[in-house]
């Protein structure tokens, strides 16, 4: 399987994006479940434009092919396609050099795989600080090994979303490193999430980013990679509103921030993601059950 991915990554990025767009378009129209979920999530957020529905499908395909390219292409090739804004470069650079704990939050928008690569290449050698990222291992063992190893690189430590992974995040933060989370990823275990509103609907939402940020008094930075004709533009902004210590209140505030970022580029968000699912063993609140 590795050799297939490496072979794909040798192809030009623009070609893979075109292929990905075609795959995404086909998946959107051939899968009723995928199509219904995407449309339902878009409509819940107030988007009714049919052209946007189709664009979202194409971008989902692009993102999948881009991930393979980012994972298996030489770092120098990847960085040629990443253009950080002045705001992002200064904010992240100052934070990395400060020595303070940092929690990076990157929603499922654009190409979210480029942030750890850009961060590690620009600041790991200078500061010695790596980024620990959580990823949800695929169910199939061959894919688990593939996805886990592909994300590992100097300055990047990828750990699974389980108890051992969380312990590793805490240990690395104590050692002066940083943590990168997908704040709109549905947690799978009891105690890892709370029901909070996301675009007006109850969504089981991860609590780890706000918990560790509060525990370590960390700098909180939202960062994302917008897909452009030239590659990706990396942007970032600090979430500097003080955390209250009330997990639900802080998670709700996190969700509002994620929504504001998504509304700037709705076509590039992963609306097909099953954001409103109820993990096994978790009780869905009455109001969420009515929305299902």
Q: How confident is the model at residue 162 (pLDDT cuts 50, 70, 90)?
A: confident
**For the whole model, what pTM was predicted?**
0.91
Q: What is the DSSP string of 78-133?
A: HHHTEEE-HHHHHHHHHHHHH---EEEE--SBB-TTHHHHHHHHHHHHHH---EEE
Q: How confident is the model at residue 184 (pLDDT cuts 50, 70, 90)?
A: very high
- The pLDDT value recorded for residue 239 is 98
For residue 159, give the H/E element and its range: strand 156-160
Residue 144 has pLDDT above 90, yes or no: no
Q: Per DSSP, what are the bridge partners of residue 206?
A: 193
Residues 6+ apart with CB under 8 A from 14: none
Helical spans, DSSP H, in the chain? 2-9, 13-30, 32-44, 50-72, 75-80, 86-98, 114-127, 141-151, 163-174, 208-216, 247-262, 286-291
Report the candidate in 184, 178, 180 with the shortest Cα–Cα distance to residue 261: 184
Q: How confident is the model at residue 286 (pLDDT cuts 50, 70, 90)?
A: confident
Note the pLDDT tens digit of each residue in 192-226.
Answer: 899 999 999 999 999 999 999 999 999 999 999 99
- The pLDDT value recorded for residue 192 is 87
Contact 119, 131 (CB under 8 A): yes
The Cα–Cα gap between 242 and 255 comes to: 15
Structural tokens at position 207: 């609590």
The Cα–Cα gap between 159 and 149 comes to: 10
> Which of 28-37, 58-67, 81-90, 132-141 is predicted with the least confidence, judged by mean pLDDT?
132-141
Q: Which CATH class is domain 2-291?
A: alpha beta
For residue 178, give the H/E element and its range: strand 178-181
Q: How confident is the model at residue 284 (pLDDT cuts 50, 70, 90)?
A: confident
- The pLDDT value recorded for residue 207 is 96
């Amino acid at each position: 399987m590795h050799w297939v991915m490496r072979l794909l990554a040798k192809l030009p990025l623009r070609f893979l994006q075109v292929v990905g767009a075609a795959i995404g378009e086909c998946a959107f129209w051939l899968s009723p479940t995928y199509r219904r979920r995407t449309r339902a999530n878009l409509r819940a957020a107030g988007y009714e434009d049919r052209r946007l529905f189709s664009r979202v499908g194409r971008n989902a395909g692009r993102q999948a092919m881009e991930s393979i390219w980012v994972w298996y292409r030489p770092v120098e090739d990847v960085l040629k396609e990443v253009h950080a804004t002045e705001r992002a470069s200064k904010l992240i650079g100052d934070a990395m050099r400060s020595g303070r704990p940092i929690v990076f939050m990157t929603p499922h928008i654009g190409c979210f795989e480029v942030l750890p690569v850009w961060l590690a290449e620009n600041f790991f050698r200078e500061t010695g600080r790596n980024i620990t990222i959580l990823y949800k291992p695929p169910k199939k063992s061959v894919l688990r090994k593939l996805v886990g190893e592909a994300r590992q690189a100097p300055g990047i430590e990828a750990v699974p979303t389980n108890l051992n992974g969380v312990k590793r995040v805490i240990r690395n933060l104590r050692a002066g490193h940083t943590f990168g989370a997908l704040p709109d990823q549905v947690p799978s275990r009891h105690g890892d999430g709370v029901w909070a509103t996301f675009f007006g609907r109850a969504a089981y939402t991860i609590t780890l980013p706000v918990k560790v940020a509060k525990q370590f008094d960390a700098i909180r930075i939202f960062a994302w990679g917008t897909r452009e004709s030239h590659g990706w533009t990396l942007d970032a902004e600090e979430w500097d509103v003080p955390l209250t210590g009330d997990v639900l209140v802080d998670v709700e505030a996190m969700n509002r921030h994620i929504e504001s970022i998504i509304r700037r580029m709705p076509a590039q968000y992963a609306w097909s993601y099953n954001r409103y699912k109820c993990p096994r063993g978790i009780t869905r609140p009455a109001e969420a059950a009515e929305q299902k």
